[in-house]
Amino acid sequence: MTKAIVKQLTIQDLIRDKDKNKAKNAGETTVKIERLGAAVTFENPDRMLCMDALEMARNPETTDQADKFLVYSVMKNPNLKDPELQKAYECVEPTDIVQEIFELGEISEIAMLALEKGGVKRGTISVVEDLKN
């Protein structure tokens, strides 16, 4: 088995790719909700929103609210913050609309995908055995 040789990241690489690195998580994502037979669109979260959601997930007092919070915060279409929609579903808390519209598994999948689009990913680094200078 041949070991892959990995190139060392340099200052020049970082400067060259500055714009690409800054815009890496910008944009939006559209997914189909099979049960609803329709697509929804969410804005890819920024670092601060991801950090807030992760902090909520780690706190025993708010862990059950983290996914709802994230989905509510990023959902663009449909606009879950619409007052008419909130009123129609008789929401007490604004984030209640999330569980009124989506099933538990859908909420979890949307939240996980949003975190991934925001840059929270596992399995993206590995230990290097051979380094090319």
Kindly state whether residue 45 falls inside one of the protein's structural domains.
yes
Q: What is the CATH number of the domain that holds 36?
A: 3.30.2220.30
Structure tokens at 23: 């815009």
Q: What are phi and psi of 40, to 5 degrees?
A: -130, 155
pLDDT at position 119: 84
How many structural domains are present in the chain? Answer: 1
CA distance 61 to 59: 5
pLDDT at position 10: 82
- Kindly state the average pLDDT of the residues 67-93: 96
In the numeric block, the tokens 């939240």 are attached to 111
Q: What's the DSSP call for residue 127?
A: -
Could you read off the pLDDT of 37-75 as tens digits, one per residue?
A: 999 999 999 989 999 999 999 999 999 999 999 999 999
Kindly state whether residue 91 falls inside one of the protein's structural domains.
yes
Query: What percentage of residues in the chain have a pLDDT greater than 90?
Result: 65
The boundaries of the domain holding residue 106 are: 27-121
CA-atom Rg of the chain in angstroms:
19
Name the pTM for this structure. Answer: 0.79
User: For the chain, what is the mean pLDDT?
Assistant: 87
